[in-house]
Amino acid sequence: MHAAIGGIDLAGIFPLYVDIRRGAIITVVFAWVCQPWQLVNRAPTFLSVVSSFSVFLAPIMGVMIADFFLIRGMRLKLSELYKSHGDFWYFGGVNWRALLAWVVGWVPGVGGLALTSNPELSGPRVLYQLYFVAFFYGNLKFTFSLSILTHRPRILLQPSGLLRHKPGIPSLPCWRYG
């Protein structure tokens, strides 16, 4: 079943070269080489693998939070999603600012990930501490670095710590269709 899912994904990414059956075969070969079942063989290895997700996925969650709440001010034009050069189109189809902010989000946690994955290595205590708070740190770091890089935040942070919208932007989510 998982091979079919991988085959569908590969056929969607490379439709000229890979069909679903060929993609499933590539997925089976790749899975055999990687042997992902070895990652869940022992409890410490499994916990290390699951913990490593926070290093890379928290910044991705941060991009969604920053984009929706801070940059777009909780407003989505659904018709822009389907335009080739709409609001969601970036240079060459890639949001390079978001990519840079994602790297800024996960780089501090990678050192701790390497140290906890290999017990023979030792390093500074700060790398372990950054790794253990990687989800929160990566998420916040990414959210604020992306909003600073885009230069278009629509929500201001008040000295009291409460969020206040700029004038002219509704305080409740407002989705426009069409």
Where are the chain's structural domains?
1-34, 42-165
For 60-81, what is each residue's pLDDT tens digit?
A: 888 788 878 777 778 888 888 8
Mean pLDDT calculated for residue range 115-144 = 80
User: Predicted confidence band at 150 (pLDDT cuts at 50, 70, 90)?
Assistant: low
Mean pLDDT calculated for residue range 120-148 = 78
Residue with the bigger pLDDT between 175 and 63: it is 63
Q: Give yes or no for residue 139 having a pLDDT over 80.
A: no
Residue with the bigger pLDDT between 158 and 70: it is 70
25, 23, 4: which is closest to 14 by C-alpha? 23
Q: Is the model's pTM score more than 0.85?
A: no
27's CB contacts (< 8 A; 6+ apart) are 2, 3, 5, 6, 7, 10
User: Predicted confidence band at 16 (pLDDT cuts at 50, 70, 90)?
Assistant: very high
Residue-level pLDDT at 177: 39
Residue with the bigger pLDDT between 47 and 12: it is 12
Handedness of CA 32, 21, 49, 143 (dihedral sign): positive
Q: At what angle do helices 43-65 and 96-117 cross, to 10 degrees?
A: 160
Cβ–Cβ < 8 Å for 116, 130: no
Q: Which H helix or E strand runs over 53?
A: helix 43-65
β-pair partners for 176: 77
